[in-house]
Amino acid sequence: MTSRACRAELGDEFRLRISIQRRLPSLRAFALAFLILGFSVGGAAAQSKPPAKPHAHVYLIRGFMNVFSLGMDEIAAKLQQQGIHATVHNHLAWSLIADEAEAEYKSGQYRTIILVGHSAGADAVASICAQLGRDGIPVRLAIGLDPGLSRMPASGHVARYINYYVSGGLGHTIGKSPQFRGHFSNVDVANVPGVGHFNIDKNKTMEARVIADIHAALR
C-alpha cells in the first residue's frame, strides 16, 4: 500500500470515529429510553397477573369399585388447569382423607377444604365431614352426587353442603344431624337431560355446576 493510500485510509478511520462520537449522545438517549420502556412494560405485565388462588384442596372421591366415577378425574383435571389443587381418591380411604385434610389444615398448608363425592363417594363425603367436625375442622364446601346406599346425614362444620340427587333412581335425599352447622340443601337434578346415577359425575351440565359451586366457595 502506498503512503498516499495509507493516509487516505487513516483519514477515513478518523472521520468514522468523529462521526460515532458525535452520535454517542443520541445513542445513549435511545438506550436509556429503551431501558425505561422495558421496565415500564415489565411492570405493567407484573401488575396484570391474575391473583393467586386461595390455599384450597379439593378432594374428589370416586364411588363403588373405584371405576364408575371417572368424571371425578375430569373435574380434577379442569380444576388443576385453573390453578386449583385437586386430587382424586377411593371412597374406601375416607378416614385417611379426613386425616390428611386435618393435618393440612392444622399445618396451614391448605386452609380451605372442599369435598366432592359420587355414589359411595358421596357417602364418604358425609363420613369425612362428620370426622372433621368432631375434631373442630371446618369444611368450606361439601357436594354429594347421587349418594349410594348409605343414608348418613350431613354433619360437621360445613359452610355449604349440597346433595345433588336424581329422583326416581338409586340416589336419594339425606337429612341433617343435630351436630350439623352450615347451609344445607337437597337438589333434585332429574330434569337435567340425560342424567342418571351412573353418569351424574360425567354429565357436562352437572360437571359445570360442580365447578361453578367450587369457584363460588373459593370467592
Residue with cell 337431560: 193
51 — pLDDT class (breaks 50, 70, 90): low
Whether 44 shows a pLDDT value over 70: the answer reads no
CB 72 within 8 A of CB 61: yes
In tens, the pLDDT along 137-196 reads 999 999 999 998 888 999 999 999 999 999 998 889 999 999 899 999 999 999 999 999
- What is the rounded CA–CA span in Å between residue 30 and residue 43? 20
CB 49 within 8 A of CB 83: no
In whole angstroms, what separates CA 76 from the centre of its chain? 8
Tell me which of 37 and 122 has the higher pLDDT.
122
In tens, the pLDDT along 54-107 reads 699 999 999 998 888 999 999 999 999 999 999 999 999 999 999 999 999 999
Residue 121 is which amino acid? G
DSSP annotation of 108 = T
Alpha helices in the chain (DSSP H): 3-47, 71-81, 94-107, 120-134, 204-218
Tell me which of 161 and 26 has the higher pLDDT.
161
φ, ψ of residue 169 to 5 degrees: the values are -120, -150
